[in-house]
């Protein structure tokens, strides 16, 4: 029997701990594992590993304090690794539609396995799987883009021309509507003032977010794709990608708060045309943003990170 290697984290300089652990993890073959020995619960590492490598490992506590903590990290054999809902949605738009109808978050929550996502949404696993199976049996239907097969630069341009432009064109309209409806109906529906404030924060953060993608990340991805395998890597994309993913999570939180304030955009009996139009526009905006984030989190970013890793490996081999 092969003895599982033990990494004593207490003996590593603090600033080098996580990089060293990631090096050990990346060196694992499918089915291999190693053990972390530490003097406190390394749970923050779990979330960092999940965020940066995805749901491709298992995390098992062998010892849980109070003085010694040991965790076995395993990279399962490929046939054992479960697909995430983001990967499922990226491969089959019919299943993405099922997730959307059932309220399963496959963009900001795309790194969860199907089982985990179903549990988080409070749904019945068998019913969800049956709905997914029916979507496969339904076959084609409305023509859709095969985003997963597109070149990275082309996909980045599509996101810019379709989703970034939509945000910039519709964001100000929604902000003005929110202010107008709050001024007219705020006395009887005070939550509208909070809604208007939340819409303003959401849009300000999104405009800043789009700028970062357009000025830094998208050009870096295009350069990465167009460079030869032996080209010198000048701008790494891993840091910017994780920053954009974190901002996507913040956007998801902001949208959930808007839904909470409006009880799921439920219109009151005295809602005027502007009130109705505001809620319709926010729901439309949310749908577009959901697709926008899905294309980045589940297709563009993972494929770009994979390509960067391949480029760096080839450069090291020269």
pLDDT tens-digit readout, 157-189 = 999 999 999 999 999 999 999 999 999 999 999
Q: How far apart are CA 61 and CA 284, in angstroms?
A: 44
pLDDT greater than 90 at residue 42: no
Query: What sections of the chain are H helices per DSSP?
Result: 14-27, 43-53, 85-91, 93-102, 114-121, 125-137, 152-158, 165-185, 191-212, 218-226, 238-261, 273-295, 301-317
What pLDDT score was predicted for residue 161? 95
Are 258 and 202 a contacting pair, CB within 8 Å? Answer: yes
Using CA atoms, how far residue 99 sits from 35, 92, 132, 154, 252, in Å, is 36, 11, 9, 26, 16
Question: Which of 16-25, 44-53, 145-154, 196-205 has the least mean pLDDT?
Answer: 44-53
The Cβ of residue 230 has, within 10 Å, a number of other Cβ atoms equal to 10
Q: Pairing mode, if any, of strands 5-8 and 33-38?
A: parallel
Question: What number of residues does the chain have?
Answer: 318
pLDDT in the model for residue 94: 80
Per-residue pLDDT for 301 more than 90?
A: yes
Contact 244, 212 (CB under 8 A): yes
Query: Per-residue pLDDT for 119 more than 90?
Result: no
Is the per-residue pLDDT at 231 higher than 50? no
Contact call for residues 124 and 113 (beta carbons, < 8 A): no
133 vs 166, higher pLDDT: 166
Residue with tokens 């590993």: 49
pTM tops 0.95, yes or no = no
């Amino acid at each position: 029997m092969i003895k599982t290697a033990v990494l004593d984290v207490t003996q590593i300089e603090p600033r080098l701990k996580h990089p060293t652990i990631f090096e050990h993890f990346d060196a694992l073959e499918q089915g291999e594992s190693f053990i972390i020995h530490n003097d406190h619960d390394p749970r923050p590492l779990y979330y960092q590993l999940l965020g940066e490598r995805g749901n491709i490992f298992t995390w098992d506590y062998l010892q849980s304090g109070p003085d010694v903590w040991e965790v076995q990290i395993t990279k399962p054999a490929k046939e054992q690794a479960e697909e995430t809902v983001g990967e499922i949605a990226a491969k089959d738009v019919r299943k993405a539609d099922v997730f959307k109808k059932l309220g399963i978050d496959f963009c900001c929550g795309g790194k969860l396995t199907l089982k985990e996502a179903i549990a988080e949404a409070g749904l019945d696993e068998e019913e969800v799987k049956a709905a997914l199976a029916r979507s496969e049996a339904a076959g084609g239907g409305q023509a859709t883009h095969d985003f997963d097969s597109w070149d990275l630069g082309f996909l980045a341009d599509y996101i810019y021309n379709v989703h970034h432009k939509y945000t910039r064109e519709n964001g100000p309209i929604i902000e003005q509507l929110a202010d107008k409806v709050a001024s007219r109906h705020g006395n009887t529906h005070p939550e509208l003032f909070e809604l208007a404030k939340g819409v303003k924060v959401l849009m300000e953060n999104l405009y800043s977010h789009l700028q970062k993608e357009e000025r830094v990340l998208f050009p870096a991805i295009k350069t990465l794709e167009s460079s030869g395998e032996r080209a010198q890597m000048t701008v790494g994309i891993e840091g910017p990608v994780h920053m954009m993913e974190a901002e996507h999570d913040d956007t998801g939180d902001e949208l959930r708060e808007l839904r909470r304030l409006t009880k799921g955009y439920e219109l009151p009996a005295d809602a005027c045309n502007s009130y109705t139009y505001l809620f319709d526009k926010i729901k439309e905006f949310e749908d577009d943003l959901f697709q926008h984030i899905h294309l980045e989190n589940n297709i563009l970013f993972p494929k770009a990170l994979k390509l960067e890793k391949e480029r760096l490996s080839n450069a090291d081999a020269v």
